[in-house]
A and B are shown apart, each in its own frame.
Chain A
Amino acid sequence: MEKNNTENNQTNLIEVKEEKSNLLSSSLINSITTNFGDQVKLVYKKENRSKILVSPENLVETALYLRNNHGFDHAESASGTDYPADNQIEINYHLGSYSNTDYYPYILVLSTRVDRTDPKSNSLINIFPSVEYHERETYEMLGVFFLGHPRNERFILPEDWADMPPLRKDFRIKGR
């Protein structure tokens, strides 16, 4: 963020920080694209955040590469967004790192798009054990089945929930 009325050395500090983190983004994105080439698409690149889009088949491979070579070791959050216009559901994993101090402030969004009529995706539970409950919640809120996850079951909703998954766009709240 730029502050309009700050002193000179503070603006210098902020510029240096921005350059450093953009450098981090650039080096990370460069290494990913050299390894994976066309299979990875960059969606946006900002200060301390960037997002890559992969196809569902390459998800596990990319996640393994990120864990082994760059030190991303946990997922801050994992969820999905429903896009009925494109007939797809997008699954996002926000990955962070606790062991690599260079990447402390950095969050990389690893996302993939699955078909809305029959949503299935590979589970990343063997690579990042911290996504266990997040994937279970995405299953029950959006209907995405995770292959390899030990329990694709009801978690937060009541046991007798018989309606469609609530976070889909065609589930309308009563009265609105």
Chain B
Amino acid sequence: MSSLQEKIDEAKKLSLQITKETEDDRLMTLSVGPQHPGSGHFRFTIKVDGDYIVFVDPDPGYVHRGHEKMCEYRNHFQNIPHLERPVIHDSCNITYAYSLAVEDLVGITVPRRGQFIRALASELSRLSYTLYWLAIYGIFLGHSTMFMWPAGDRELLIDLLERLSGARVTNAFNIPGGVRNDIPYNFKEKCLAQVNYFETRLKEYEDIFYNNPLLRQRTEGVGILTKEDAIKLGVTGSVLRASGVPFDVRKVEPYDVYDEIEFKVQYMKTCDSFARAYVPVLDMRESCHIIRQLLDKMPDSGDVREKLQFNIKSSPGETYKRVESGRGALGYHVVSDGTPRPYRVKASVGSFRNLLALPFLLTGSKLGDMPAIYWSLNYWPVEADR
């Protein structure tokens, strides 16, 4: 055996001498760029040694439209339509935090019925976002049925949002002071019917997708993010909850009516890509329970909005308010100097914070595991660039 090993070593040395290969020659630089079926609007450069990824460098900014600068030139009401564009299909959550911050600065409270409707729209948006994320996850892994089924079921929820606000995705429903209009006639019954149907569909997703042996092989044990690393890197949302930390802003720091709703924080302890893919489904089930309780406990009548002046002057000071969106804790740091326009708005979005885990997880893994790890981090490129 030893002579065989010696022969192999000698052959390797000889071949290296012939090809004159150095360490650097073995690495190949690839650009997983903006035009790629597996990357979205985002680029990252990777150096590959055979089949293993050695170096990752993310390069965001392809959709940087300057929202924070634009906020300083518009007043609080005019900021709502353009602030909801970073995550166009989860728009009721990203404007929720801004409305909370402005109400804190101005010093008003929203009427109770308005708070319930806001929470209801937020849960429906969260369901719609998670279904789109699941659809793209399926297609990145090559499971095209998993693209069709969630994309089709999502249309039913978009119908509900369209009845509420008038638009399919860019709702502009939350404004500082409450919501824009009351829920339409017959909405409660339709909403309950759709949510009940949707829960039966969740069981079918588990059958074709999560119990699929190919998916399990591709995602179990791949991209392990331990609890200490997750805390150190500061990730948020379903990525954090899949690593064993039961942190959900709705439970930890309840805003509006979430302290009257009973629900459990769903988390898993296995820390791999499969857990990061499965926690959103558990979250969706909890969202269905929350929607039922919200429809039950909503007061029958009342104002939905505290009417504010268009050029409302917020008192000088600053505040930081956060909500739980589909990607994690979304916070707004708003600084105001007493004029109708904010002085500085900084949005701390879940995608930007989760981006730090991407080079950490991809180095050392195989090239074929890249889509499974990349999209399981719940990263939406448009939001990270703001």
Q: Are A and B in direct contact (Cβ within 8 Å)? A: yes
Contact B348 A76 (CB under 8 A): yes
CB distance from B132 to the nearest CB of A (A): 24
The answer to whether the Cβ of B60 comes within 8 Å of any Cβ in the partner chain is yes
Identify the closest chain B residue to A43 (Cβ). Answer: B318
Q: How many Å lie between the Cα of A158 and that of B43 in the bound state?
A: 13
What does DSSP make chain B's interface, helix, strand, loop or mixed?
A: mixed
Identify the closest chain A residue to B343 (Cβ). Answer: A81
Q: How many Å lie between the Cα of A31 and that of B224 in the bound state?
A: 37
Contact B356 A130 (CB under 8 A): yes
The answer to whether the Cβ of B131 comes within 8 Å of any Cβ in the partner chain is no
Contact A130 B343 (CB under 8 A): no
Taking CB atoms, residues of chain B closer than 8 Å to A109 are: 320
Contact A176 B234 (CB under 8 A): no
Contacts known (A98-B240, A104-B252); A76 close to B329, Cβ less than 8 A = yes
Contacts known (A133-B356, A173-B73); A81 close to B344, Cβ less than 8 A = yes
- What bracket does the count of chain A residues touching chain B fall in? 35 or more
Question: Which of the segments A1-9, A34-42, A57-65 contacts the partner chain?
Answer: A1-9
Contacts known (A98-B240, A156-B61, A158-B61); A132 close to B356, Cβ less than 8 A = yes
Contacts known (A48-B253, A156-B385); A94 close to B331, Cβ less than 8 A = yes
Question: Which of the segments B62-70, B184-192, B203-211 contacts the partner chain?
Answer: B62-70
Cross-interface CB contact of A157 among B61, B109, B317, cutoff 8 Å? B61
Identify the closest chain A residue to B66 (Cβ). Answer: A166
Contact A133 B112 (CB under 8 A): no
The answer to whether the Cβ of B161 comes within 8 Å of any Cβ in the partner chain is no
Q: How many Å lie between the Cα of A49 and that of B318 in the bound state?
A: 11
Identify the closest chain A residue to B60 (Cβ). Answer: A156
Size of B's binding interface in residues, CB under 8 A? 38
CB distance from B217 to the nearest CB of A (A): 31
Contact B335 A81 (CB under 8 A): yes
Taking CB atoms, residues of chain B closer than 8 Å to A92 are: 333
Contacts known (A109-B320, A155-B61, A173-B70); A129 close to B232, Cβ less than 8 A = yes
Contact A105 B253 (CB under 8 A): yes
Interface residues of A in 59-95 (CB under 8 A from B): 73-77, 79, 81-82, 92, 94
Taking CB atoms, residues of chain B closer than 8 Å to A13 are: 259
Taking CB atoms, residues of chain B closer than 8 Å to A176 are: 73
Taking CB atoms, residues of chain B closer than 8 Å to A32 are: none
Q: How many Å lie between the Cα of A86 and that of B54 in the bound state?
A: 47
Identify the closest chain B residue to A166 (Cβ). Answer: B69
The answer to whether the Cβ of A167 comes within 8 Å of any Cβ in the partner chain is yes
Contacts known (A94-B320, A130-B233, A155-B60); A77 close to B109, Cβ less than 8 A = no
CB distance from B65 to the nearest CB of A (A): 11
Identify the closest chain A residue to B104 (Cβ). Answer: A1
Taking CB atoms, residues of chain B closer than 8 Å to A4 are: 109
The answer to whether the Cβ of B353 comes within 8 Å of any Cβ in the partner chain is yes
The answer to whether the Cβ of B373 comes within 8 Å of any Cβ in the partner chain is no
Contacts known (A156-B60, A173-B73); A76 close to B331, Cβ less than 8 A = yes
Contact A157 B64 (CB under 8 A): yes
Interface residues of A in 1-50 (CB under 8 A from B): 1-5, 13, 44, 48-49
Cross-interface CB contact of A128 among B234, B322, B331, B344, cutoff 8 Å? B234
Identify the closest chain B residue to A47 (Cβ). Answer: B253
The answer to whether the Cβ of B117 comes within 8 Å of any Cβ in the partner chain is no
The answer to whether the Cβ of B194 comes within 8 Å of any Cβ in the partner chain is no
The answer to whether the Cβ of B245 comes within 8 Å of any Cβ in the partner chain is yes
Interface residues of B in 238-269 (CB under 8 A from A): 240, 245, 247, 252-253, 259
The answer to whether the Cβ of A55 comes within 8 Å of any Cβ in the partner chain is no
The answer to whether the Cβ of A110 comes within 8 Å of any Cβ in the partner chain is no
The answer to whether the Cβ of B231 comes within 8 Å of any Cβ in the partner chain is yes
Cross-interface CB contact of A3 among B73, B112, B231, B355, cutoff 8 Å? B112
CB distance from A78 to the nearest CB of B (A): 9
Q: How many Å lie between the Cα of A92 and that of B333 in the bound state?
A: 10
CB distance from B164 to the nearest CB of A (A): 24
Q: How many Å lie between the Cα of A76 and that of B329 in the bound state?
A: 9
A sample of 13 inter-chain contacts (CB < 8 A) reads A2-B109, A3-B109, A3-B112, A82-B344, A109-B320, A128-B234, A129-B232, A133-B356, A156-B60, A156-B385, A166-B69, A167-B69, A171-B69
Q: Which residues of B contact A (CB under 8 A)?
A: 60-61, 64, 66, 68-70, 73, 109, 112, 231-234, 240, 245, 247, 252-253, 259, 317-320, 322, 329, 331, 333, 335, 343-344, 346, 348, 352-353, 355-356, 385
The 3 A-B pairs at the shortest CB distance, nearest first, are namely A130-B234, A77-B348, A74-B234
